[in-house]
């Protein structure tokens, strides 16, 4: 097969610099064990990466997204929004308001003391005695 040229790929990726970035990223992916999508034909990884781009086996947008993701140090995970919590005010609650609106965790003093009884005090070390 004839060698791939920049002109074969430039209609898929408009910017030559971006083409080099994407092809080099894909070549590194192939080097690290990613499967190739075109026959190797005794070509090296950068040429295989360019042939994959020229043959439209990979979308440049997907390669670009993968390149950006590989360069990020902190990847933000898209988590669902937390449920809205009613704002607590410092004023005294209205006596006519139902108790089901705002609930607090309550623990009696006896429950607290029973929980503390099960705790073991820390042992003293030689550093504490000085």
Q: What is the pLDDT of residues 97-128, one digit of tens each?
A: 555 566 667 778 888 788 777 777 777 766 65
Provide CB contacts within 8 A for 22, sequence distance 6+: 13, 49, 53, 60, 63, 64, 67
pLDDT one-digit tens code per residue, 66-80:
998 888 887 677 776
Owning domain of residue 46: 6-71
In a domain, 39, yes or no: yes
Total count of domains within the chain: 1
Measure CA 85 to chain center: 27
In a domain, 121, yes or no: no
Please indicate, yes or no, if residue 88 is contained in any of the structural domains.
Answer: no
Helical pair 16-31 and 45-54, crossing angle rounded to 10 deg? 120
Collapsing DSSP to helix, strand or coil, 128 comes out as helix
CATH number at residue 51: 3.90.940.10
Q: Residue 25 pLDDT > 90, yes or no?
A: yes
- The rounded distance, in Å, linking the Cα atoms of 31 and 24 is 10
Check residues 113 and 30 and name the one with the higher pLDDT.
30
In a domain? residue 104: no
* Mean pLDDT of the residues in the chain: 79
Calpha distance 41→37 (Å, rounded): 12
Over residues 93-99, mean pLDDT: 55
């Amino acid at each position: 097969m004839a060698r791939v040229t920049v002109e074969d790929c430039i209609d898929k990726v408009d910017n030559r610099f971006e083409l080099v970035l994407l092809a080099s990223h894909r070549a590194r992916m192939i080097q690290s064990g990613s499967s190739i999508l075109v026959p190797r034909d005794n070509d090296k990884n950068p040429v295989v990466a360019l042939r994959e781009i020229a043959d439209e086996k990979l979308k440049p947008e997907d390669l670009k997204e993968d390149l950006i993701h590989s360069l990020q140090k902190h990847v933000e995970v898209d988590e669902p929004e937390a449920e809205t919590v009613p704002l607590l005010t410092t004023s005294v609650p209205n006596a006519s308001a139902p108790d089901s609106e705002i609930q607090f965790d309550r623990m009696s003093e006896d429950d607290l003391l029973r929980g503390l009884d099960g705790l073991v005090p820390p042992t003293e070390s030689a550093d504490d005695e000085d």
